[in-house]
Structure 1
Amino acid sequence: MVEDNEIERDAVVELLGYDDIDIATAGSGEAALSAMRRQPFDCVVLDLRLPDMSGFELLEQMREQAALSSVPVVVFTGKDLSPDEQGRLNTMAKSIVLKDVQSPERLLDETALFLHRVVTQLPQEKQAMLERLHNSSEVLRGRKVLVVDDDARNIFALTSVLENHEVEVVSATNGRQAIDILKNTPDLEMVLMDIMMPEMDGYETMREIRKDAAFRTLPILALTAKAMKGDREKCLEAGASDYISKPVNTDQLLSLMRVWLFR
């Protein structure tokens, strides 16, 4: 846990701690790096504001060291991220949790994932937090989502799943149409973007959408047919917030949607 504010640091240790994991803390970038060189860690929770270097610099240094480059990092920050910072973090950190009302649950959830924690063995109150996060259909209810896919059967299947959770679905069958709908529907809150489409594919469509300042932080989940190595990076570079491979596992999709609509 890398955080220079002692009160925040203690709060996170309290939130995540239990006898199934060991937590080490560091109050500066240099202290964090020397701890990581001394022993292997399975996950790092990082605040971006550090006294001796920025969280970005710490991530850069981790990336340059073979032993540290693959350690999952969860950035836990109260900083308002610019689109440029968001983009940089997407390529360097495994996930970003912004400090807000729902952030303790999210932080517990994200770290549990990377630490392969068995949720049923956690204390009751921690289980209850995760339960709230995963089963809360409240987050989805009434949200307006754009589904972009050139295959009407896929649109139908996704629409059926989402409408069961009271999500309002708008659909488009190509990239151009998707961009027009976005520009004319001010209350759209998320896009599910198929990558493999004729003429204008999902990558190109996402790049186009991100050029408009109004859509810089709009959550876009890319639906990729073949989860090839490098697909994730390619999706994130093109502007996706996250991605999920087809055939879509609906529980996983709903869980991802909740996470992104929380923000």
Structure 2
Amino acid sequence: MDCLLELSRMNLRHPPPTVLMLTAFSRDEAARRLAEARINAAAMLTKPVTPSTLLDACLGALHLPGQHARRSERRDEALARQRASLAGARILLVEDNPINQELAGDLLGRAGILLRTAQNGQEALEWLEREPFDLVLMDCQMPVMDGYAATQALRQQPQWRDLPVIAMTANAMVGDREKVLAAGMNDHISKPVNVEELFSTLARWVPPGTPSNRGATAALPGLDIRAGLASVRGDEALYRRLLAKFRQREADFEARLRDARARDDGEAAIRCAHDLKSVAGTLGMPALQRSAEALEAALVAAYERGGGEAAIEPLLENVTRQLEPLVRPPPEHTDV
């Protein structure tokens, strides 16, 4: 510190860049004295100094490219690749904490992942009976049925023996990983969740070759992939994400429309059909688009003009029949 002040008194035309190493207790005092002398240090490091932080500080002071930026860039690129590879994957989140649910929903939803949420292990088993999933994110400590018991139960079923189950636990004690593996889980993510760890782990267990996250490359009845890709200017990753969101939103289309009809809410019923018509046209589902348009017209006639009520039920059945393979593809077409 005193050497740096002495250099400042020498009025050097080109003073060398300086990295100042300090103990934690002298940082504020050093900053005050530098400010009084109107001296700018290129960096201030607190001891103990690691080799990597010292190297980065020196390279920064000399305005030379360092490894830190490249490492950061590589991490960002890897995260982007992992997120893109997971678009369209079907994941079941088993978590009872609403804040953790919201956080996971935001992180995974923005990656185009189709997410279902169960409050406990028993609900998770019920979801697995209803829908296929590529992976389960399983909290370990939950009421009703915890993650260990739920995993042991699902492993007893032949159809779920190979389903990846990733434990999520706030515990970080020695032996936790062995405990989750012994319960039949495949891997472990610590809470609070680290975003890089989350996506790298998911990508490891839901690789790009998994059928359900190759949404833009497979054919389904009623799906014109070329037309759908054209509407998003050939952006396949975006198309996958939109298909995933379509599945999540429209899986309960019939229930929502029938509920609106039961409440005699004509506006809500018409909006259901109208929204489906619009999205089906965007995603390359021409037959569904035409059927939804016919249903919308019948609903408008019934609620706004007082006619056409008899046509609604067969039109709704037709829409539901065409929608079914698109939101819950049969086993031979689970890759959309």
When normalised by structure 2's length, the TM-score is 0.38
User: Larger helix proportion, structure 1 or 2?
Assistant: 2
User: Larger strand proportion, structure 1 or 2?
Assistant: 1
When normalised by structure 1's length, the TM-score is 0.49
